[in-house]
Amino acid sequence: MSVATDLKQPEAQPSPESVKMAGRNVSVFYGEKQALFDVDLDIVENQVVSLIGPSGCGKSTFLRCLNRMNDTIDICRVGGEITLDGQDIYDKAIDVVELRARVGMVFQKPNPFPKSIYENVAYGPRIHGMTSTKDELDEIVTTSLRRAGLWEEVKDRLDQPGTGLSGGQQQRLCIARAIATKPEVLLMDEPCSALDPIATAIIEELIDELRERFTIVIVTHSMQQAARVSQKTAFFHLGKLIEEGPTEQIFTNPHHQKTQDYITGRIG
Amino acid sequence: MQFWLTLLVVLLVAGGLFYTGRSRAFAITGGDATVLHSKPEFHGGMVLIAGLLPAIFVYVAWLVFYRYFADSSVTAQLATELSGLTALEQESFLRGAFNLANGQNVGNVSDAELKAIEAYRAFNGAANLILQLVLAALVLGGGFLAWRQISISFRARQFVEGTVSVALIAASGVAILTTLGIVLSLIFESLNFFQKVPFFDFLFGTHWSPQSAFEGAGSEASERNSEVFGAIPIFAGTLLITTIAILVAAPIGLMSAIYLSDYATPKFRAVAKPILEILAGIPTVVYGFFAALTVAPFFRNAGEGIGLSVSSESALAAGLVMGIMIIPFVSSLSDDVINSVPQSLRDGSSGLGATKSETIRRVILPAALPGIVSALMLAISRAIGETMIVVMAAGLSANLTINPLEAVTTVTVQIVTLLVGDQEFDSAKTLAAFALGLVLFCVTLMLNVIALRVIQKYREQYD
Amino acid sequence: MTDLAGGNVQEINSIHTSDEARARLAKRYRAEGNFKWLGRSAIGVSVAFLLLLLSSVVSQGIPAFTFNFAQLPFQLNAETLGTDGSDANALKKADYDGLVRNTIRGEFPHVTSRKGKRLLGGILSSGAPVYLRQQVLDDPSLVGGTKTPEVPISDFADLYLKGQITPSSYVDGGANLTFALDDKSYSIVADQPVFTDQLKAAKARLAVQAASLRDEQAGQLRSAAKLEGDIVAYKERLAAGPEADVKERLEKSLEKTEEDLKLVRVRIEQLASKADELDARIANDGLGETLTADMPSALLYVGGGVLKLTSVTNSTATAEAYMPVAEDLSAAAPSDWRLRNMEVVEANRKFSDQEIVWTDELVERGYIRNGFNSIFFSRGASREPEMAGVWGAVVGSALTLIVTLALSFPLGVAAAIYLEEFAPKNRWTTLIEVNINNLAAVPSIVFGLLGLAVFLNYFELDRSAPYVGGMVLALMTLPTIIIASRAALRAVPPSIREAALGIGASRLQTVTHHVLPLAMPGILTGTIIGMAQALGETAPLLMIGMVAFVVDVPAAFSDPATVLPVQIFMWADFPEPAFQQRTSAAIMVLLGFLIAMNAIAVVLRKKFERRW
């Protein structure tokens, strides 16, 4: 069994107050069919947590619960409790629009708007009214593009359509767009699955840098990627959270048989 | 009566041919039909087709060309009587004689007419006799030839199916024929018109009053005519009413589509969509009636109330009602367009924390803009071609203005006014209607083609 | 946790949760709410318009579904008709005109003037004799029998009985009256001022007249001022010493303008004095007034008859008899009489007080029967609204649609089958497809032009005949049917075709035996919808001459006919209120057919639609 060699150094045990988001007994139903069964998971601040597991195991479903994207699906019902900074995000008092400004998302297939690069990144700050002058907006756009590692490549063509970029660049644009709203948590749903290895490598490096500012939850099909980028890993199988723990431990010494099977390639 | 009788005869003949063929097919096998290559029904069908089809072709040809031959024959026989008349007079003389010849009572006619009538009747008699003989010969001959072909290995099925395939192709060709017919007849009559009124005077002239057109030849007539057939006021009126209609239909139709596709509950949709469909299904004459009898007087009285002078045939009333008629059209087209924007864009926008209206206003609509523009072009095309609402609620006299409170006239209204009534077909007025029709056809065609192109390119963008 | 460079936890947290952010959020939600309301009101506009249209049509059309008939005591016997009923020819030629005339005059023998008799005859429909004749021809046993035939009353009498001519109110008698008859005119004296209301109403009318005179006066004053200005201008220019010919022109103009001014001043005088006169009369409360046709009228019911007031003071009046009163009438107690005030003045309506009184009398005598308007549903067009029916147009529409269906259905389905199942994907088929899509969007009036140029002008087919109309509509409906049929054929899964071909069926057999039956429900639905659209078409049929005034119900495809929407179009032009009602009723009939056809299509679709 060969796993990527440059594992991250195991972090110290997280103190309870730096848990950014937590799920307790989270279940998801699509109509009559249950997709997630009683998931308990903590997400610690400024950490990268990766959710791994075979296709259809519920990891994307869980991810989408964290910013209430499941609300857009009529027949979807979420049970249990999910908190952000201790507050239940499904509470009536929490506004979903505000939540999504604080918990950003990058999707599997890059989906830049058919607007200019500038407008793509400026979209979030604009609608949330985060700036009052053009200069402030320019500043946010520039910063976000820099942090997404795209600035050098597009600084001379900010008014060109975002859809004209390559796949990898588009995804980085989407990352810039997501972080422009200055979220606290960044959700990434298989962000590299549609990209070539070079673009993938660029984005994985990016994730490491972004970790300093944001808490990141990433769903990935690639165990190697999980091993490379995350400090904590959670393994899902058939809608249940089988095992979770420090990445190194999961990959070198899993406690659960199913986890072992998955890692060795016997299932999924 | 004669129609039904002929129909009966044709059916009987067809049945007879079919039965003959089928029996023969059975007969040659000595009872066991499975030996045949093709089922007996196909043999019967073959005999039927072979017998009837040539006869049908000949009959149709006779219908089309008969009149020409009859006229030629009678003209030759009455050469002396017709020598003093102009071509037009000859034509009308012959037509009159022809109608009398086919009617019952002749009444008082001149000698020349009597001779013509008798000539026509004689020709009719002879032609009918020949026709009946020819048709009978074709039916019997064709049927017999086919009957002789019937054998065990004869591929009757191929024959029948081949004929049917050709018939199917012909059916599809009707569409092309129709378009050809439209284009040719419009162009032909318009060319006649442009001989009387120069093209540029028509297209760019600003004075339209066909009532004062002169008939007959002569430079004075043609000079006068080129002054009264200037179509600019009509185009302007059409534009004014269409603009009002689109100003009404575009926002309402678009917002309806947005609300129904993104906000409405299924129950609401189940009620609202049928209502829009009902609105779309109401005949335009009903809209016109409502516009003329309720909406226009309402605007006039309202105008009087606040001191404005509103015509009782205001462009506002007609345009408003036309706009409402187009709402379902715009709504359903916009609905298609909005739904074809990929869900990933919606998700991207929601994921950033946008409200639904922000997503729609800032992402969906700009992305769908080409499609919406194309939908509006189709709506404009529809509005331009609309007839009944404007005939009943808009004015009849050309008026070059942008004031919606005044009465204006449109292309379709003029076409109807010029043609409904007893006029000689070749008069400048009647031909003017065809010229207008040509303009209408070309403009709507162009709009439709451009709109469809835009939609195609726009769809490619997202597939 | 370390402090991050370039941003701290507090700052990040508060950007979206601060009060400012919350306020912005509230604003955004308000915008969202407004947007939703915009959407709702957009739909609301459509719904409101539909409701408005339907309610207006229905409320106007419902009265046309009933009609009042007069069952007068027509003497149908050998004497009046010249036959006892056995000779059909004589029955046809009998003088029904005279019979109807005499019968109605027999009911009101006191009407002797020529004008009065003509007015009386106008209460019955002018088509009454024709109607009566039809009844007798249909049932000769009426001659000499006991059954009373009936005839339609006139359109305005019918409107009156439906309460649509004028509202009126009754006032009980409030004083003792004495009557004196002088020639034809009654003088009435009351011991209380019971005619004050009528007098006041008359004065009010005078006030309106005075006001309009003053308006005109003001207008004339303005003209006068303008003319005066012109005169001054001319004088100035003349004083400047112009050339000879210009001077002559100016002098002429000056003269004319001065003349005009004189006339205007005279007119102003006239208007002023008339208006003053009226003002004097209005001010004088007690001065009696003659009740003219533009003042509200009053009827006095007394002594078994009806008197119409011709002039009033507060407590006296003069009147003439509209229905004869008792010969010896000289006095009446309050309980013996009452007044009836008509709200709409006679000058503004088309049914006079005299006609109202006569019609009421017929009702009193039990001759009027209110029943279903069978005329409307069994006759063709007519210039008289009460004799006009929609049946001719309905039959015309039916004949036309039959032709349309017979032509467009086979051709459309055949073309769809070819394009969908057989055609190779090459330039020609693409051309045909593009063609069909374009044809579907061509304005309908262009098809009318095509029909006119080719069918009427070149082939010289009959104008106004259903079969020509059917051909034009068939060309119009063809693209619709082709497109709908192609969609239905496409919906049948390829596996069906493959299975059939696998057994060895030829392509044609596959299509006719397997695919077509499965696609049939969809094809039929599309065809029904296409027919419904064709039913509502008006413009192309106008072009081929179906505007002719068709009285007889058509019986063959070549008889001149009209269709329902064209009938509606023609009737919409007629100003009589009775025609307006019938137009609305015809619209209801048309909408009824359309609803039925669309309902059948929907039911068909629901019942036979398969989810593959």
Alpha-carbon distance C317 to B114, whole Å? 76
Nearest-CA distance C45 → chain A (Å): 29
Same domain, C46 and C105: no
Q: Which of B340, B352, B364, B463 to mutate to test the interface with A (most CBs of A within 10 A)?
A: B352
**Choice among C38-52, C189-203, C531-545 with the minimum mean pLDDT:** C189-203
Alpha-carbon distance C264 to C229, whole Å? 14
Q: Assign C152 to helix, strand or coil.
A: strand
> HSE (CB half, 13 Å, CA atoms) of C584?
22
In a domain, A9, yes or no: no
Alpha helices in A157-246 (DSSP H): 167-179, 197-210, 223-229
Q: CB atoms < 10 A from the CB of A31, how many?
A: 10
In a domain, A159, yes or no: yes
In a domain, A153, yes or no: yes
Q: Residue A163 belongs to what domain range?
A: 17-263
Q: Which residues contact B98 (CB under 8 A, 6 or more apart)?
A: B67, B70, B71, B120
Beta carbons of A95 and C25 less than 8 Å apart: yes
Q: Single out the residue of C203, C259, C198, C249 nearest to residue C227, CA to CA.
A: C259
Beta carbons of C43 and B260 less than 8 Å apart: yes
In a domain, A268, yes or no: no
The residue type of C168 is S
* Contact residues, chain A, for B348 at CB < 8 Å: 107, 111-113, 174, 177
**Choice among B135-144, B171-180, C4-13 with the minimum mean pLDDT:** C4-13
CATH of the domain at A106: 3.40.50.300
Instruction: Note whether C180 and C155 are within 8 A (CB).
Output: no
Structure tokens at A119: 């407008």
Span B212-227, average pLDDT: 62
Direct distance between the N- and C-terminal alpha carbons of chain B, in angstroms, rounded to an integer:
59
DSSP states along B207-234: -B-GGGPPPSSSHHHHHHHHHHB--HHH
**What backbone phi and psi angles, to 5 degrees, belong to A13?**
-55, 130
Give me the number of domains chain B comprises.
3
Nearest-CA distance C445 → chain B (Å): 7
> HSE (CB half, 13 Å, CA atoms) of C251?
9
Q: What pLDDT is recorded for position A212? A: 87
H/E stretch holding A160 reads: none
Give me the number of domains chain A comprises.
1
Long-range CB contacts for residues C567-570, cutoff 8 Å, separation at least 24:
C567/C381, C567/C390, C567/C392, C567/C393, C568/B285, C568/B286, C568/B289, C568/C538, C569/B285, C569/B288, C569/B388, C569/B391, C569/B392, C569/C538, C569/C542, C570/C381
**Choice among B72-86, B213-227, C414-428, C569-583 with the minimum mean pLDDT:** B213-227
In a domain, C89, yes or no: yes
Same domain, C152 and C185: no
Q: Residue B137 belongs to what domain range?
A: 2-154
- pLDDT greater than 70 at residue B33: no
Beta carbons of C583 and B385 less than 8 Å apart: no
Q: Single out the residue of C369, C366, C351 nearest to residue C578, CA to CA.
A: C351
Q: Which chain A residue has its CA at the smallest distance from B354's CA? A: A97
In a domain, C528, yes or no: yes
Q: Assign C308 to helix, strand or coil.
A: strand
Alpha-carbon distance C329 to C346, whole Å? 28
- pLDDT greater than 90 at residue B243: yes
DSSP states along B331-368: HHHHHHHHHTS-HHHHHHHHHTT--HHHIIIIIIHHHH
Span C238-265, average pLDDT: 86
Instruction: Note whether A59 and A52 are within 8 A (CB).
Output: yes
Q: Quick one: residue A31, left, alpha or beta (phi over 0 = left, psi -120 to 50 = alpha)?
A: left
Boundary of a domain, candidates B108, B136, B154 = B154
- pLDDT greater than 90 at residue C3: no
- pLDDT greater than 60 at residue C8: no
In a domain, C364, yes or no: no
Q: What pLDDT is recorded for position C330? A: 85
Give me the number of domains chain C comprises.
4
Same domain, B170 and B286: no
What is the percent of chain C where pLDDT is above 90? 34
Boundary of a domain, candidates C133, C161, C189 = C161
Same domain, C243 and C267: yes
In a domain, A256, yes or no: yes
In a domain, C107, yes or no: yes
In a domain, B218, yes or no: no
In Å, what is the CA distance from C124 to each residue of B58, B403, C121, C578, C581? 59, 48, 6, 15, 19
pLDDT band at B174 (very low <50, low <70, confident <90, very high): confident
Boundary of a domain, candidates C300, C319, C348 = C348
Beta bridge partners of C289: C312
* Contact residues, chain A, for B346 at CB < 8 Å: 72
Q: What pLDDT is recorded for position C573? A: 86
Predicted-complex ipTM score: 0.87
In a domain, B422, yes or no: yes
Span C595-599, average pLDDT: 91
CATH of the domain at C589: 1.10.3720.10
- Write the pLDDT tens digit of every residue in C9-49: 444 456 778 888 888 889 999 999 999 999 999 999 999 99
In a domain, B299, yes or no: yes
Indicate the pairing of strand C305-312 with strand C289-290.
antiparallel
Token pair 């690069």 in the structure block, residue? A117
- pLDDT greater than 90 at residue C247: no
Q: What pLDDT is recorded for position A2? A: 43
Same domain, B127 and B179: no
Beta carbons of C31 and B357 less than 8 Å apart: yes
Beta bridge partners of A106: A188
Same domain, B27 and B142: yes
Same domain, C574 and C457: yes
Same domain, C57 and C81: no
In a domain, A2, yes or no: no
Percent helix / strand / coil, chain C, rounded to 5: 65, 10, 25
Token pair 């239940």 in the structure block, residue? A88
The strand order across the sheet containing C66-70 reads C151-152, C66-70, C368-372
- pLDDT greater than 90 at residue C94: no
What's the mean pLDDT when you consider all of chain B? 84
Same domain, B150 and B163: no
Q: Which residues contact C301 (CB under 8 A, 6 or more apart)?
A: C337, C338, C339, C340
Span C349-370, average pLDDT: 92
Same domain, B10 and B109: yes
Q: Single out the residue of A43, B164, B408 nearest to residue C512, CA to CA.
A: B164
Same domain, B432 and B406: yes
DSSP states along C538-593: -HHHHHTTTTS---SPP-STTS----HHHHHHHHHH---HHHHHHHHHHHHHHHHH
Q: What pLDDT is recorded for position A28? A: 93
Boundary of a domain, candidates C126, C161, C196 = C161
The residue type of B377 is M
DSSP category for residue A87:
E
Give the gyration radius of chain C's Cα atoms.
38
Same domain, C70 and C38: no
Q: Single out the residue of C534, C397, C532, C408 nearest to residue C466, CA to CA.
A: C397
In a domain, B215, yes or no: no
Q: What pLDDT is recorded for position C504? A: 82
Span C230-242, average pLDDT: 85
Give the gyration radius of chain B's Cα atoms.
31
In a domain, A3, yes or no: no
Same domain, B428 and B286: yes
In a domain, B227, yes or no: no
Chain B touched by A97 (CB under 8 Å):
yes
Instruction: Note whether A117 and A157 are within 8 A (CB).
Output: yes
Q: Residue C10 belongs to what domain range?
A: 2-61
Same domain, B6 and B124: yes
Higher pLDDT, A112 or C238: A112
Same domain, C275 and C395: no
Span C259-263, average pLDDT: 90
Token pair 């009407």 in the structure block, residue? C111
Chain B touched by A5 (CB under 8 Å):
no
Beta carbons of B182 and C569 less than 8 Å apart: no
Beta carbons of A213 and C4 less than 8 Å apart: yes
* Contact residues, chain B, for A177 at CB < 8 Å: 348, 352
Same domain, C572 and C595: yes
Instruction: Note whether C527 and C405 are within 8 A (CB).
Output: yes
Alpha-carbon distance C128 to B328, whole Å? 47
Q: What pLDDT is recorded for position B422? A: 55
**Choice among B422-426, C277-281, C439-443 with the minimum mean pLDDT:** B422-426
Indicate the pairing of strand C331-332 with strand C177-182.
antiparallel
Angle at which helices C114-121 and C353-364 cross, to 10°: 60
Beta carbons of A69 and B347 less than 8 Å apart: yes
DSSP states along C482-510: HHHHHHHHHHS-HHHHHHHHHHT--HHHI
Same domain, C258 and C153: no
Higher pLDDT, B463 or A73: A73
Q: What pLDDT is recorded for position C13? A: 56
Same domain, B140 and B252: no
Nearest-CA distance C19 → chain A (Å): 12
User: pTM for this one?
Assistant: 0.85
- Write the pLDDT tens digit of every residue in C37-81: 999 999 999 999 999 999 999 999 999 999 999 998 888 877 777
Span A199-224, average pLDDT: 89
- pLDDT greater than 50 at residue C2: no
Q: What pLDDT is recorded for position C405? A: 95
Same domain, C209 and C340: yes
What's the mean pLDDT when you consider all of chain C? 87
User: Which residues in B346-383 are b (16+ Cβ under 10 Å) and which e?
Assistant: bbbbbbbbbbbbbbbbbbbbbbbebbbbbbbbbbbbbb
In a domain, B210, yes or no: no
Q: Single out the residue of C231, C297, C222, C229 nearest to residue C259, CA to CA.
A: C231
Same domain, C446 and C566: yes
The residue type of C352 is S
- Write the pLDDT tens digit of every residue in B317-358: 999 999 999 999 999 999 989 988 999 999 999 999 999 999
Beta carbons of B350 and A72 less than 8 Å apart: yes
Higher pLDDT, C557 or C411: C411
Nearest-CA distance B442 → chain C (Å): 10
- pLDDT greater than 90 at residue C485: yes
Span C289-315, average pLDDT: 88
Higher pLDDT, A56 or A179: A179
Q: What pLDDT is recorded for position C565? A: 94
Beta carbons of A212 and C4 less than 8 Å apart: yes
The residue type of B328 is P
- pLDDT greater than 80 at residue B228: no
In a domain, B208, yes or no: no
- pLDDT greater than 70 at residue B150: yes
Same domain, C330 and C181: yes
Alpha-carbon distance B65 to B173, whole Å? 22
Q: Which residues contact C362 (CB under 8 A, 6 or more apart)?
A: C70, C72, C107, C123, C368
Q: What pLDDT is recorded for position C184? A: 82
In a domain, A5, yes or no: no
Q: Which chain A residue has its CA at the smallest distance from C29's CA? A: A97
In a domain, C223, yes or no: yes
Determine the length of chain A: 268
- pLDDT greater than 80 at residue B216: no
Structure tokens at A79: 């049970």
Higher pLDDT, B150 or C585: C585
DSSP category for residue A103:
E
**Choice among A209-218, B40-49, C108-117 with the minimum mean pLDDT:** B40-49
Nearest-CA distance C611 → chain A (Å): 22
Same domain, B177 and B257: no
Same domain, B362 and B438: yes
Q: Single out the residue of B95, B94, B101 nearest to residue B127, CA to CA.
A: B101
Same domain, B176 and B123: no
